[in-house]
Chains A and B, each alone.
Chain A
Amino acid sequence: MLPVVGAGSSLGLMNLSAQTPAGNAGSAGSAGSPVKLSYKTLGKTGLKVTTVGMGCMITSDPSVVARAVDLGITYFDTARGYQHGNNERMVGAALGSKRKQVVLSTKTEARDKAGLLAQLDTSLSELKTDYVDIWYLHGKSSPADIHDDMIEALQLAKQQGKARFVGVSTHSNQPQLIPWMVQKGVFDVVLSAFNFSMDPAVEQAIDAAAKAGMGVVAMKVMAGGPRNQKLAQQGAMLAALKWVTNHPSVATTVPSMTDMDQLDENLKAMAGPLTADDHKVLAAHLEIIKPEYCRMCGKCEGTCAQGLPVADVLRFLTYADRYGEFALGRERYLQMASEHVAARCGDCAECTVKCPYGVEVSKQMARAQELLA
């Protein structure tokens, strides 16, 4: 059982205004509001982390990192590849003498033992530290992406004291990758894309990892990020963050933050449990995106009477409709088998594809055929 201290049993209580010296540029919106910090233990690592951490990837000003430390956030995440290494340098400078007060993670995209270890040394130099708390293999989506010599590098880094714990970050195919990681028994932490809108199979994989004692860190928790205007307009970003921080299998999260206001807003996610109102907001958001939002769960595969690759066609339509990339959508569409390009949903009396998430498949497919064929 994952040792969890829930949001309702927070160990810390912090008044932002009390912690914010006169003249500080932050926290105008929350001045005077007490904000609780909630903590969980990151699996068998035993590391105690705030349930809201900080993803530093797009943070440009070190003042935001410095203030996050002062406000009590204990988990900071960067990667060797972010801003071609400049992000690690910024984070290292911002943490300064407070580095050992926090849990610091970075990632590597190198693909062999020598490359991995060389990148770790560079990371340590840029971060101005002699160890990282968690060192991730960056962006893996399949067990085939992780070779034995890469695991050797992870273990060697631990033996040398350069990484206290090791893990893998993943954006996709978690139902296959995470159980493999658990079975392998050499990974301490998984950093996974995880939010309220994802397929239950991802949640099952994450639950199993937590149950096995693996620390779970969630990213992409806002289902599209703070620049997702649809989410922002409904005020759902905080609810989305709370959904993850209150998930029993997730120890911490790494939402990206670029300014003091985002920092203050995200801290509120630790102030209490997910409420009925939060559920309503998220449910309303899912309703809005449901008719068009393909979760790529693959459950429609093989169910089309005409044999169409439904998820692929919906993705091509997304290129054209939502991202203004008509040329790309059409190009991909025309690369399908000729019988699929020629197929028309209107030829079927009834659609045999039933999306478990309510995507209006036949309507969307017909639109793709009209637009792209």
Chain B
Amino acid sequence: MSIRDRNNVQVSGAGSRTIMFAHGFGCDQNMWRLVAPAFEGDFRVVLFDHVGAGRSDLSAYDDRKYGSLSGYAGDVIEIIRELDLGRVIFVGHSVSAMIGVLAANREPELFESLVLVGPSPRYIDDGDYSGGFSADQIEELLQFLDDNHMGWSAAMALAIMGNPDRPELGQELTNSFCRTDPEIAKKFARVTFTSDNREDLGKLTVPSLILQCKEDIIAGRDVGEFVHRHAPGSTFLLLDAVGHCPNLSAPAEVISGIRAYVRAQ
């Protein structure tokens, strides 16, 4: 299976610069459906699904590789190399913000800049650091994920994966966006919410823009400001949007924020 298929990479638009959008925990590249098209006129736009999400190749999931965020960062680097994208503007939402930081620290020459949407280097409180959650609350979340079978059912996954020419099979699902393999989703949740990438922020040499929502219970303003303080060369922009997904709730604000930043770069 090629890297393109593994991560369901979609390339659109045209331009001398490339902008790459990465989704976070809980959804797939659909997360960018209201934002990405706005860049197709003057950028090459790259969308992809992390392995385990959306229409990625579930069989490529490897417990060891994806047992830490660096496995996902490795995939980002592989996609940039494989598609020969050159230096990209990497826009990462939620956990993908930190995946972008890890990738940029490993291969800085592949990144023009990073846009970190709702970033958090650590979700669990630690001493003076307030991530927003206790370790027990995160355990509770992992339990809770079992209560909602939002993933493909095993039988449905087989039917859909085996019949790419019959998209109506997927439409029979009630909640048809953001489907993920439930077992992988649980593992991704654990990796996401137990990660600690505070040390990695200081190593950043690629310039970055932090897009922070006003009210975000997943990555609060304190956390966004922490990222800004510790990431050298970062710019902080507070959005008027509320919630954790401004890419859906306030796409215009996200688009103008990114545009202003990449124009200035």
Q: Do A and B associate with each other?
A: no
Residues of B within 8 A of A (CB): none
Residues of A within 8 A of B (CB): none
